[in-house]
Amino acid sequence: MNPDMRITLTQFLIEERRRFPGASGDFNSLLLNVALCCKRIARKVAAGALGGVLGGAGAVNVQGESQQKLDLISNTLFIEGNNWGGYLAGMASEEMDAPYQIPDCYPRGRYLLLFDPLDGSSNIDVNVSVGSIFSVLRAPETEQPVTEQDFLQSGTRQVAAGYAIYGPTTMLVLTVGNGVNGFTLCPQLGEFMLTHPRLSVPADTSEFAINASNSRFWEEPVKRYVNECMAGRTGSRGRDFNMRWIASMVAEAHRILMRGGVFLYPRDSKDSRMPGRLRLLYEANPIGFVMEQAGGRASTGRQPVMDVAPSSLHQRIGLIFGSRHEVELIERYHNAPPPMDLPEPLFCERSLFRTPA
Ligand code: AHG
Ligand code: MN
Ligand code: MN
């Protein structure tokens, strides 16, 4: 299609807003400013070593992770790009211990913004795709400063979510609860153009993504699932599987949106203080919302991830998402008693849940 004929993110949002005649425009301002933040971050990421942005920042975040310079730069860009607009009551980020209060000099708005400003930080210095993830919730109707409690809403209450991926192209993938649409940044115009309308995750797949170095810490249902995939044609699944691991969840989510697949960062026993690796409120829930809106599924293994009642701002959780039938199979493995006499490793020929090839 002639790029001049494509619709921009702005046009897309204005047309969406017409479905809600009473809408004030705040919601669109919020999403357009988030998109602007992502464009700014894309420029920083693309400059790489030339921009002096690679390497560690010499600081540690509330979760004990070393912060990269780009983690902090991206966090500041999100904060300063959104604090002035009058549409937010507060923000929360992977890189900040406590919620951010909107300064008194700006009006207080009706929404809360949560974000992982830079996802996949371990990939920054090696020039592999990274991204930003965001989630929008409604704020309580009060004039009080926001508290952690205000952000502890289940994923089903998100009003918008999405991510930007900084890869060979920069893309913004967005849901406002009416399907999922993908926009590619046009470098000439500096505009996100609708290039991937109505994205849909294929229900079936033969590709999975998991950090196999953690396999000794996995729970039985995950060991069983992965071993059955690895057994391929000769095992209970009756077909060969392919494996990927990028270590940028945004990049894995994007691949799965484009061609299907299943992603697992399950609950494991590696560190008893961490029942999972990924954070519920600004990683699992927004990606879960995108997946479910695209016809996929997102789960802890035991329940839909968006049904989880959050207990703290930086809560971690086991996360499994992607092609619906595969996630449902993994859920059945979690919710059923393990099959008897499983050999170790679990390359079994027969399975209670044998699926058609
Ligand atoms: P972040 O860079 O925001 O801390 O998130 C990284 C996450 C996620 O993107 C990825 O799937 C996972 O951590 C990678 O973890 P491993 O290094 O354990 O593979
Ligand atoms: Mn992350
Ligand atoms: Mn991050």
In tens, the pLDDT along 180-238 reads 999 999 999 999 999 999 999 999 999 999 999 999 999 999 999 999 999 999 999 99
The mean of the pLDDT values for the chain is 94
Please name the residues in contact with 327: beta carbons below 8 A apart, sequence gap of 6 or more: 262, 296, 297, 298, 299, 320, 321
Cα 245 to ligand 2 centre (Å): 14
What atom of ligand 1 comes closest to residue 122's alpha carbon?
2
Of all protein residues, the one whose alpha carbon is nearest to atom 17 of ligand 1 is 247
Q: Which amino acid is at 27?
A: F
pLDDT per position as a tens digit, 173-190: 999 999 999 999 999 999
pLDDT of residue 5: 86
240-277 burial: b if 16+ Cβ within 10 Å, else e: ebeeeebbbbbbbbbbbbeebbbbbbbbbeeeeeeebb
What atom of ligand 1 comes closest to residue 94's alpha carbon?
3
Q: Say yes or no to pLDDT of 347 above 80.
A: no
pLDDT per position as a tens digit, 61-98: 988 889 999 999 999 999 999 999 999 999 999 999 99
Cα 293 to ligand 2 centre (Å): 21
Q: Which amino acid is at 91?
A: M
Cα 196 to ligand 3 centre (Å): 25
Q: Indicate if ligand 1 lies below 6 Å from the C-beta of 122.
A: yes
Give the pLDDT band of residue 348 (cuts 50, 70, 90): very low
Domains of the chain and CATH, by start: 3-196 (3.30.540.10), 207-335 (3.40.190.80)
Q: Indicate if ligand 1 lies below 6 Å from the C-beta of 120.
A: yes
Closest ligand (CA of 277): 1
CA distance 78 to 83: 8
Average pLDDT over residues 102-126: 97
Q: How many CB atoms lie within 10 A of CB 94?
A: 26
Q: Indicate if ligand 1 lies below 6 Å from the C-beta of 96.
A: no
Q: Say yes or no to pLDDT of 41 above 60.
A: yes
Q: Indicate if ligand 1 lies below 6 Å from the C-beta of 268.
A: no
Give the pLDDT band of residue 292 (cuts 50, 70, 90): very high
Q: Say yes or no to pLDDT of 357 above 50.
A: no
Q: Is 171 exposed, middle or buried (0-12, 13-18, 19+ CB in 10 A)?
A: buried
Residue 321 dihedral angles phi and psi, to the nearest 5°:
-150, 165
pLDDT of residue 343: 52
Closest ligand (CA of 71): 3
Q: Say yes or no to pLDDT of 341 above 80.
A: no
Average pLDDT over residues 326-352: 71
| Beta-bridge mates of residue 321 | 263, 298
**Of 217, 254, 26, 294, residue with least CA distance to 130:** 254
| Beta-bridge mates of residue 317 | 278
| Beta-bridge mates of residue 244 | 209
Closest ligand (CA of 118): 3
pLDDT of residue 4: 76
CA dihedral 283, 288, 289, 292 (to 10 degrees): 170
Q: How many CB atoms lie within 10 A of CB 189?
A: 12
